[in-house]
Amino acid sequence: MASFDLTVLGSSGGPADGKTCAFLLKPSGLTFDQILDGQMNDCLLCVDAGTGISGFCEILLLHLRNRLSQLQKDDIDILSYYKDSLEISDYTSIETVVPFGNPREEAVASMGVFEYASKLFNLISAYLITHSHIDHVSGLLVNSPAFSQPVITSNSPRPRRVSLTSSKKIYSIPSAIDNIQNHLYNDLVWPDLTAAHTGSSISLMKLEPEQLVQLNCWFGVETFVISHGIIPHEHKDEMFESSAYLITLKPPKDDGGASADSESSFPSKLLFFGDVESDSTSISPRNHRIWREVAPLVVSGQLRAVVIECSNYNLPKTVPLFGHMTPTHLISEFVTLAKECSLLSGAAYHPLDGLHVLITHVKETDSSCDPRKIILQQLRELNDSHDLRLNFTIALPGLTYKI
């Protein structure tokens, strides 16, 4: 099966700014240098965009300083915020890789760091946005001008923008696309760089729930609407919608040798949740349906990992969670998945044994104690007490996980 390389540009749940969730996906067989050299605009996918080009520049700088292959906790801001952070390896159960080719001097150092990052971001053909909250789109908004450039022609006194790429599609659920268009790219909060007259390469695309959509040559997606807190109204509160994406990685027929093994035509799957509340606390529980859908993929080994939030460590029940999860809630979701798998596989005693779970969106706290350390400890204790045998990893920016 083909593997995903998941590069974390940002993974914080705030309130630290500039570090929020964004993940770059590519096929493992291709390095960023190869993608840039070959101008391959059909094999990168960005899931959420709370952090953008600047997050990638930080990774490039670590690479140029030859630190990416031996990252220390001091290299990662969100770990150095706290006094008691663990070593990187303590947060990590998934194999990590350096996503650039060698020797490092050639491709990256031949141009400026920002130039390399901008050119690579111009090759991202598809963004998947889980929901319209600012911490998941701010990088995309600020980066948008880099996807086109202003020109002045002799017969046009006003500058207009020309597209640098053939097309960049921003995909999300219909409610999020409406929010992004009406409240962000509206010429008030931010210039409408999706408008045709700007020479834009950016298109906003609605994903209908539970339909399969091919995003580019390598990646396809199936979309699920999930619940993420409420929008208070005077008469009747409304659920705020987020989404989960079941992402398929399948090599195109001619993949230029990126897939090395004969089984690579068998698609790999990654289940990616945006911000989400637990069915156990939701007035509109929508997660169980997803677990039922992916249970056969868990049993067959096709599901490589679940990427999901755990924003806070366990808190007293009276503390509002604003549509997020704690370790107790997250484990209750995986208990549901285990039951669905057992219904299918009958005798399988530990159906989730070895399944990778990548934790995102941990909220920073004004304490000396690292919330990631506490969350990981609580998840591992609950994992043991329920005998689920999941492999937990806390997503850290700067790292590339091979999934």
Interface contacts to Zn ion, rule CB under 5 A: 133, 135, 275
- Residue number, 27 or 50, with CB nearest to Zn ion: 50
Contact 331, 382 (CB under 8 A): yes
Angle between helices 371-385 and 327-345 (to 10 degrees): 40
Closest CB 363 distance from Zn ion, rounded Å: 9
Give the Cα separation of 204 and 208 in Å (integer): 13
Q: Which residue matches tokens 């390389």?
A: 5
d(CA 302, CA 39): 30
Q: How many CA atoms lie within 13 A of 291 on its CB side?
A: 23
Separation in Å, CA 136 to CA 25, 259, 283: 16, 31, 24
Q: Min. distance of Cβ 372 from Zn ion in angstroms?
A: 16
We find the least distance from the C-beta atom of residue 76 to Zn ion, in angstroms, to be 19
Q: Residues 358, 364, 367, 370: what is their CA dihedral angle, to the nearest 10 degrees?
A: 20
Cβ atoms of 348 and 338 within 8 Å: the answer is: no
Q: State which residue, 10 or 29, has the beta carbon closest to Zn ion.
A: 10
CB nearer to Zn ion: pick between 108 and 276: 276
> What are the DSSP calls for 257-319, one per residue?
T---SGGGGS-EEEEEE-S---TTT-SS--SHHHHHHHHHHHHHT-EEEEEEE--S----TTS
Instruction: Quote the least distance from Cβ 361 to Zn ion, whole Å.
Output: 6
Minimum CB distance to Zn ion smaller for 143 or for 311: 311
Q: How far is the CB of 14 from Zn ion (least distance, A)?
A: 7
Looking at beta carbons only, is 135 or 241 nearer to Zn ion?
135
CB 149 within 8 A of CB 185: no
3-class secondary-structure state, position 76: coil
Nearer to Zn ion, 5 or 279 (CB): 279
Distance CA 271, CA 274 (A): 10
Q: How far is the CB of 18 from Zn ion (least distance, A)?
A: 14
- The C-alpha angle with vertex 123 and arms to 399 and 23, in degrees rounded to 5, equals 30
Q: Give the shortest CB-243-to-Zn ion separation in angstroms.
A: 11
User: What pairs with residue 359 in β-bridges?
Assistant: 308, 394
C-beta of 21 vs 352, nearer to Zn ion: 21
Tally Cβ neighbours within 10 Å of residue 72: 11
Q: With respect to Zn ion, which residue has the nearer C-beta, 62 or 325?
A: 325
CB of 277 to Zn ion, least distance (A): 10
**Quick one: 249 or 271, whose CB is closer to Zn ion?**
271
Q: How far is the CB of 131 from Zn ion (least distance, A)?
A: 6
